[in-house]
Amino acid sequence: MEFEDNDFFATNIKIIKLSGVWVGSERDHPFLRGLYKLYNIVIVIYFVFLFTPFEFMVLNETVSSLPDLMKNLNMGMTHALATIKVYIWFSKRTTILNICNTLSRNTKAEKIGDFDPEKITREDKVVKQMATLGFFSVACCVGSSSMLSSFYTLMFHSEDEYIYVTDENNVTTYIYDQQLPYSSYIPWDHKKNIFNFSCATAFQCIAVLYSAFIIVGQL
């Protein structure tokens, strides 16, 4: 399915390409199509099969605190809906792009007095592009602000986050106890040191950014 540039949905298409669900067209070089496919596989495995299920794996750890539970459920359900949009995109991609092409195709209409269909369409395109970019900017702030806040603490106040923990065998361990931006299972010990914590923060926040790409791009 081909899609023309500089049309009504151009901004959405660019965001979809960032989100890792774009399928290269026949016009693209085979190497570029291969890169799209590799990018798709990496992002889908990372976001759909790893991060989103990991959020629900820690629900039992937040159930004792209603605010934490609501926060976890809110983020988890948002990303679950994004996962559904990924499925809909891949299963209905051709139909969606056909609709986009039809809606964005320039049509000629006669101007009658003050009624100017072409002017209305041009103005609507501007409003639509601005709304998409505005929504996209706000959505990206969720993951990026969390990452910046977490790394700010890590860079300037990390010494306050180290604590000593003594287990039942009276063995004392020095751990890095800064709170992660979001509640999710991390498949490595993120409290072992600053590097592990940094990787865990990036793992969470980049997934939230990709969620924004998917949700906004597939309006």
Q: What is the mean pLDDT of the chain?
A: 85
pLDDT at 51 over 90: yes
Other Cβ atoms within 10 Å of 101 Cβ, number: 16
- The pLDDT-based confidence of 3 (bands split at 50, 70, 90) is low
**What's the CA gap between 24 and 150, in Å, rounded?**
36
Q: What is the pTM of this model?
A: 0.83
Separation CA 68–CA 66 (nearest Å): 5
Q: In this predicted structure, which of 3-7, 102-106, 197-201, 208-212 has the lowest mean pLDDT?
A: 3-7
Predicted local confidence at residue 22, as pLDDT: 84
Q: Is the pLDDT of residue 184 over 90?
A: yes
- Band the pLDDT of 25: cuts 50, 70, 90: confident
The pLDDT assigned to 106 comes to 61
| pLDDT band of 57, cuts 50, 70, 90 | very high
Residue 3 covered by a domain: no
pLDDT at 2 over 90: no
Residue 6 has pLDDT above 50, yes or no: no
Is residue 115 in some structural domain? no
Q: 150: domain range?
A: 10-106+128-217
In a domain? residue 118: no
C-beta of residue 208 within 8 angstroms of C-beta of residue 145: no
Residue 34 lies in a domain: yes
* pLDDT value at residue 219: 59
Q: Is residue 79 part of a domain?
A: yes
For 38-52, 101-115, 119-133, 195-209, which range has the lowest pLDDT when averaged over its residues?
101-115
> Residue 1 pLDDT > 60, yes or no?
no
Residues 53 and 59: their CA atoms lie apart, in Å, by: 11
Q: Would residue 5 count as lying in a domain?
A: no
| 2 or 97, higher pLDDT | 97
In this prediction, residue 116 carries a pLDDT of 80
Q: Look at the chain and report how many structural domains it folds into.
A: 1
Alpha-carbon distance 217 to 219, whole Å?
6
Domain annotation covers residue 55 = yes
